[in-house]
Each structure stands twice: as C-alpha cells, then as structure tokens.
Structure 1
C-alpha cells in the first residue's frame, strides 16, 4: 500500500520534502512510469533518485545485498568494483580494472549470471 508523508524544515527558508513508502511492486511501477516520461530537468532528477535510492550504497539482487562501495572477487579471483553508474533498468555497473574493455560496465545481473558467486575482496 502506498503511503506518503510530508515534512517541513525551517532553515533560513522553508524547505518541503516528501517521502514515499512503496511496496516492491509499486516501486517497479513508478520506475516504469518515470522512465517512460519525456525527460525534463525535474523528471531526470526524479529518475536518478528512483534508480539510486537514499540507501544507494546497498543493492539487493536475487536476495543478496551488495555493498556498492566494496570490491568483489569472482570465482576466478578477479577483482570487480562498482562504477557508480547504472544501466537503463537501474542495475549497478561493475568493472574489472586492468582486464580490458571487455570487462568494463558489466551489470550486476550479468556478473552474477557469469560467475554465480561473488565475495567481498
């Protein structure tokens, strides 16, 4: 069930902020709607916020939470790190430094499909 709250904080000016609490299904719906909207300055900032929520240092994929500030080792012992960018579906992108262009900007989905298990370096 969607829930919205409004808060007001007075500094030198009044700043209004809004917080949405969404179920996973509602969040996916919102991503679809915002992602399909024509981009304006406002819709672009909303899209970036939806792709990278406030707890953006952690990303959960298939029940596993990944620390986006950490480096990870694949099953071959190669080190991967998050680039800070995401693909069009919101998946974090990773690069294996020094391994060449073929190992740059892999989505987490692709990396997990290729190597199955990742562990913190």
Structure 2
C-alpha cells in the first residue's frame, strides 16, 4: 500500500559571489564604461548599483539591560510607567553591593530606589514607547 507524508529537509547552499572594492575615481571610470555599454539588463543593474551605492551598514547598538530576579528584562535606556501612572527612568547608577540599577521618578534625581524596589511596590512596570 502506498503512503505519503510531509518531511522537512535542510539544504545548505554555498554561493560564490564577487565583491568589488573601488575608489571613487575607479567607480567614476567604471560608470563611464558601463553607461556607454549596450543596455542589457545586467549592465543596467550594475550601472544602477554604481550610480547609487548603499551607505555602509551601521551595527545596531546593543541596549544595556538588567534582568530582575523575576526574570523581567529592563532596557536601561527606556522609561517605565508603574501601575499608578508615574513614569520612572534609570539614573545610570547602580548599587555598589548589589549592582541593581537605580531608578528615579521622572524629575527627581535624588531617589535611591532600585528597579526591584519599585517593581515590588508599584509594579508591574510597563515600558513607555514613543
């Protein structure tokens, strides 16, 4: 009797590419040559890429985070709202012995509460998004 079933297979494909690095003068000279070429699709694509090179990619900056004992991950560059609607932000300072980040009620820089203190008393904390 015949049977059929779905199966998943993983294929690894290795591809060889050509990376061309040019100075501005070399790119200008190549644009002139390609611009005068026959206009095939390949030549047009190459000319378009040379005419509008992509800016260099900037690596994303990793956010500094803190993971609370409850497993909640806080982005230390963000602000958070507590259950009563007050907004808290991180001061950039940490407790000398526990390394827990200090937070402050927005506008009051002399607060010495840690994020764990505020989470326990006023949580849950919700990230404020722009």
Structure with the higher strand share, 1 or 2 = 1
Q: Under a length normalisation based on structure 1, what TM-score does the superposition of the two structures give?
A: 0.49
Q: Under a length normalisation based on structure 2, what TM-score does the superposition of the two structures give?
A: 0.45
Greater gyration radius: 2
